[in-house]
Structure formats: C-alpha cells, structure tokens
Amino acid sequence: MFYLILDILTTFDDSEVAKVQVPDKQGLYSAFKSRDTRFDGRFYVGVSSTGIYCRPVCHARMPKIENCTFYSSAAEAEQAGYRPCLICRPELAPGRSVADAKTALANRAARVLEENCGSGLSMGELAGKLGCTDRHLRRVFGEEFKVSPVQYMQTCRLLLAKSLLADSSLSVLDIAMVSGFGSLRRFNDAFKKQYRLSPTALRKQSELGGDSGENVTVALGYRPPYQWEKMLDFLALRAIPGVEAVRDGEYLRTAALTDAKGATLQGWIRVSHVLKKNTLQVSISSTLLPVLPQVLSRIRHLFDLHCDPDAVRETLESMNDIKPKMFTHGLRLPGCFDSFEMCVRAVLGQQVTVKAASTLAARIAATYGIKLETGIEGLDYIFPTPKDFTLLKGEISNHLGPLGITAARSKTILGLAYAFIDDYIDFSVAAQPEDEIARLRELPGIGSWTAHYIAMRSMGWTDAFLETDHGVKNVFSGLKPKEILALSEQWRPWRSYATVNIWNTL
C-alpha cells in the first residue's frame, strides 16, 4: 500500500477540513466515497468484482471496500490487470502536479513520456533529456509511479487510443498510428491483452464523438476550480494577431510541429471549456493528427492542467491578508504552446506596452512567418522558427529594424534562435529552471525579469518571482524590490502563481 497526504473532509463540509495521513485502505475508501474532485488523478481504484479501475470521482455504483484495491497511477492499475472504466474514463483525469511527486525527476519524466508516447522515444533518449542515467531514472520512476517508464508510456498510448475511440470518428488504423503502436496488429494485440476486448468492441460501447473529417476533438481533464475567463483574458492580452485569437470563450491558434520522421506538420487548434465535465475540449485540424500527443501535451502545459489548485491555495490564501481578493482560488499559471514564439514575445515586451509587443510580434509573423490557409478568421500565419532567423543574411537589425524593433532586441532574438538550435538552453518542462535561467542571462539583452518570465511560462516553473516587474511594484508601492522579494519567501514553492494573482489585481 502506498501513502498519500490528502485533505479528508470529516463531514464532507468545506468548513471542516483536516489534513491527515492516509496509510490504510479505509482512509482511501472514504476519499473514494466522497467523490471529491480534489482527489482526482491522485489515486485510482481497481474493482475486483468488475475487473475495471476508476477515478475517485466516478459516479458508478459504489463497490464494497473488500472489492477495492488502490493504485497511485493508471499505469499501475493496468499492470495489475484492470481495464479503464467507460463511465469515469481515467484518460480524462488530470495529471500530477509538482507538489504530488516524490521527486521532480519522476514528475518531469512523466510529462515527457506523455508528450512523446507516439514518437518511439527510447529510455536512453528520455534519460538524456532529463540529464540522468537510464538506470537512475528507472529506479526513481518506479519508486514514484510503481511501474517502469516503458509501462507508463504503454498506458499513455492505450489511454490516448481509448479517448480517440470514444470521442472521434477516426479509423482504428489511424488511431493505432497516432497513439504510437506502429501497426494495427500491435495495437489490437496490446488492446486485447490489457483491456480484454477489441478496439472496435470498445467503440461500440462508447458514445461516438461528433467530429468531422476536417478535425479531431479530444477532452482533457483538470482539477476544479478553474478560472477559465481569467486565463483567456491573460492570453487575449498577449495574443499575436494572425497567429492566435481569443473570441467567444475559445482560444484558437496556428501550429507547426515536427513528427517522428522529421517532417513539419502545420494546422490549427481550438480550445474551449466544458464546465460541467471539468474538461477542456481540444479540436485540431486533421493535418496535425500524426503529432496529436505533442499537441495535447502542449495544451496541458499552456492551460496548466496538471495544477492542484487546493495545494496552491493552502500556501497563497494568506495573500488576502495583505490585500483583500489578491488571491483567487483556481487561477492557473499560463504556460505556452511554442517556447520560441513566447520567448520572442517576451523580449519584444521589454519596456513597451503589452499591446505594442503584440503588434511587433504580428509584424514578424506576417513578414517572416509562413502563410497558412486555415479557413478561420484571424489565423493566417505560422510564427517563424529559430532557423528562419538564423538564415537571414547580414545584420539582423537590417531585417527587424524596419518592423520597429530596436537593434538591441533584434540581437537578443537572434541569440535566442541560436540557443534553441544549438540546444544550449532547455526550454521544456524537463528543464532544471535555476540552471537554465543562469544560461539565459548569459545571452545579450536577457536580464532577471525576462529570464524568470521565460522559466515561468516555458518551463512551467512554479517558483519564479518577478520582484522588479512594473505591475508587482505598483501593487506593493512603498516597498523596494528586495523587500518585495523577501515578502515572497512565504509563498514558496508557488511564487509563479503568486505573481499571476498579483497581476490579476491590477
């Protein structure tokens, strides 16, 4: 049996919450009976009488305690021989937040596996991305998730396939390839072995999604509450016209990603909110189907779907003692979809207004980006890649200067482009933020604010703090940056969330 630190509701009333250690089956069963969304994704329940495993929020008939076995991950439940519930759909459960993981390494490894489950990533390559040996990775991962990285990746593939069978009209062959099985035979064998039914049989038991041949729609779960409108407000203010759009309660953008064979695939993405189901609905153009795992991983990162809002609240609620309503429960940390695009946008925003930076970024996209016919108003360009900038002849300022970008910022953008191409800096969620911030600050034109902002949004670092930010200083007027930084110590390890909450008060 594994141990969890959970908030158990003694009377299932929000006014009486006690933090207790839950080392026994009875405690976990009580959490299961509560159907509290705060437990979603933290553990799974295998039911021996049915042979299925469920999320702790499942609304199927409650099984007897003697028929329940509890697991720390979906992969562990599947390795024990259980198949996923068709009612609560474990593939929709939110992932683990940083606070849930015993080690940051295991947590980062799980994120990389989710993103690369369709690419054939080897364990040696995974360990290389994380800067450790594959032996050490297997040991740490096994201690945290009770399964090997290979078994975890297999579960990622199976759950992605299950989601597509339930929510899309894609052929079984297409689903097999998108999910990373490589062949229809391998997919059918794995599916039958793990779930004891064929993919077509599972599809018949599920409600088929209503997508057309022009797009594919997949649901991604989160832990409520989720301040969707505030997230859209943040993204809308910083959207790059022609590349991104926020309207009618949805986020839309163009995208270009590289598949396992090195080919670049282009298309569009639309994200909307389904409040009643605690999910985001993600629609992508069919052209992006071969890189669907990458798309979904980036959407999870952009919209911070791994977040545990109650863990954040426990530390940051004291912000309201400084200023009423400074902290908002459920406010997420905006990530990014494309790290290079976001880095360029951050550099352009140095010492100019947010709107002016978006205008400059739009000029870059229209001049050096790729024209894309999406059929969607406002989505016209793919933002240029790092390589596009390095291939420009002559001084970079000669190209970006006419667009209104200073020579200094032009040089910084070129430096970032080379940092991406040379892999000098790791901008992914697998990065060690403190190390990468030091490397970022070696680049011309990258100071503390820009480096920490990039770490916050690109690397998903939860503990960045921008004490020199203009908005932060306005909120704490009368305090010097060093004093603001000292004040922020009480908000570790969620200072990035504290920063976003401070901005939200402006």
**What is the CATH classification number for the domain harbouring 201?**
1.10.10.60
Q: Which residue has the tokens 């909450």?
A: 501
Q: Are residues 498 and 406 in the same domain?
A: yes
Greater confidence, 19 or 466?
A: 466
Q: What is the CATH number of the domain that holds 234?
A: 3.30.310.20
Paired with 216 in beta bridges are 284
Structure tokens at 44: 């799974």
Reply yes or no on whether the pLDDT at 102 is more than 80. no
CA distances from 310 to 44, 87, 206, 225, 313 (A): 19, 25, 32, 9, 5
Two tokens, residue 76? 């562990």
Examine residue 199 and say whether the peptide bond preceding it is cis (omega within 30 degrees of 0): no
pLDDT on residue 168: 87
Answer with the one of 86, 108, 136 that is the final residue of a domain. Answer: 86
Residue 324 in domain: no
C-alpha to C-alpha distance for 40 and 34, rounded to whole angstroms:
11
Q: Is 375 in the same domain as 452? A: yes
Burial class (CB in 10 A: 0-12, 13-18, 19+), 449: middle
pLDDT at 364 (0 to 100): 98
Domain membership flag for residue 331: no
Q: Which of 303, 276, 277, 307 is nearest to 41 (CA)?
A: 307
pLDDT at 121: 80
Please give the single-letter amino acid code of residue 374: T
pLDDT at 14 over 50: no
CA atoms of 456 and 447, how far apart (whole Å): 14
The chain-wide mean pLDDT, for the chain, equals: 90
Range from 42-56, 132-146, 178-192 carrying the lowest mean pLDDT: 132-146
Comparing 12 with 190, the larger pLDDT belongs to 190
In angstroms, the CA 216 to CA 171 distance is 12
Pairing mode of beta strands 370-371, 279-285: unpaired
pLDDT category, 103, cuts 50, 70, 90? low
Q: Are 238 and 322 contacting, i.e. CB atoms less than 8 angstroms apart? A: no
Q: List pLDDT tens digits, range 160-172.
A: 999 999 888 899 9
Q: What is the pLDDT of residue 98?
A: 58
The token duo for 22 is 């839950």
SS3 content of the chain, % helix, strand, coil (to 5): 50, 15, 40
pLDDT band at residue 334 under the 50/70/90 scheme: very high
443: left (phi over 0), alpha (psi -120 to 50) or beta: beta
Q: Identify whether 330 is part of a domain.
A: no
In the predicted model, is pLDDT for residue 388 greater than 70?
yes
Of the pLDDT bands very low, low, confident and very high (cuts 50, 70, 90), residue 214 is low
- In eight-state DSSP terms, residue 242 is B
pLDDT for position 211: 55
Q: What is the mean pLDDT of residues 437-461?
A: 96
Task: Tell whether 343 and 483 lie within a shared domain.
Answer: yes
Residue finishing a domain among 35, 63, 86: 86
Same structural domain, 395 and 351: yes
Rounded distance between C-alpha atoms, residue 191 and residue 179, angstroms: 12
Domain count, the chain: 4
Distance CA 441, CA 421 (A): 17
Residue 118 belongs to some domain of the structure? yes
Residues 10 and 69 in one domain: yes
pLDDT of 444 > 70? The answer is yes
245 and 274 share one domain: yes
pLDDT value of residue 108:
83
pLDDT for the residue 119: 78
Band (285; pLDDT cuts 50, 70, 90): very high
Mapped onto helix, strand or coil, the DSSP state of residue 24 is: coil
User: Could you give the CA distance from residue 78 to residue 154 in angstroms, rounded to a whole number?
Assistant: 10
Q: Average pLDDT for residues 7-15, to the nearest whole number?
A: 36
pLDDT surpassing 70 at residue 21: no
Please tell me the number of Cα atoms within 13 Å of 410 on its side-chain side: 16
d(CA 493, CA 501): 14
Q: Do 347 and 312 lie in a common domain?
A: no
Instruction: Enumerate residues 6+ apart whose C-beta is below 8 A from 445.
Output: 347, 350, 408, 409, 411, 412, 415
Q: Could you tell me if 284 and 142 are in contact, meaning their C-beta atoms sit under 8 angstroms apart?
A: no
**With pLDDT > 70 as the criterion, what percentage of the chain qualifies?**
92
Q: Are residues 311 and 459 in the same domain?
A: no
Arithmetic mean of pLDDT, 26-37 = 91
Q: Are 410 and 364 in contact (CB under 8 A)?
A: no
Structure tokens at 428: 């992914």
268 bridge partner residues: 254
H or E stretch including 356? helix 354-368
- Are 190 and 295 in a shared domain? no
CATH number at residue 357: 1.10.340.30
CA distance 351 to 144: 44
Same domain, 355 and 463: yes
Q: Is residue 312 a part of any domain in this protein?
A: yes
Measured distance CA(125)–CA(440) in Å, rounded = 24
Burial letters for 330-340: b for 16+ Cβ neighbours within 10 Å, e otherwise? bbbbbbbbbbb
Whether pLDDT at 316 is above 70: yes
CA torsion angle for 384, 238, 469, 428 (degrees, to 10)? Answer: -50
Q: Among 234, 219, 317, 229, which residue's Cα sits nearest to residue 274?
A: 219
Would residue 36 show up in a list of annotated catalytic residues for this protein?
no
* One domain, residues 71 and 46: yes
Residue 334 maps to a domain? no
> How sure is the predictor about 203, in pLDDT bands with cuts at 50, 70 and 90?
confident
Q: Which of 40, 338, 426, 469 is catalytic?
A: 469
CA dihedral 356, 362, 365, 370 (to 10 degrees): 170
Enter the DSSP assignment of 366. Answer: H
Residue 455 contacts residue 437 (beta carbons within 8 Å): yes
Q: Tokens for 96?
A: 């683990």
What is the C-alpha to C-alpha distance for residues 376 and 7, in angstroms, rounded to an integer? 45
Q: How far is CA 139 from CA 99, 142, 148, in A?
A: 20, 5, 8
If asked whether residues 109 and 76 sit together in one domain, one would say no
Domain region containing 303: 215-316
Among 271, 219, 281, smallest CA distance to 376 is for 271
- 92 is a domain residue: no
Domain end point (choices 255, 285, 316): 316
Length of the chain: 506
Q: Residue 270 half-sphere exposure, CB side, CA atoms within 13 Å?
A: 20
Domain assignment present for 210? no
Does 134 score more than 60 pLDDT?
yes
Answer whether 289's CB lies under 8 Å from 174's CB.
yes
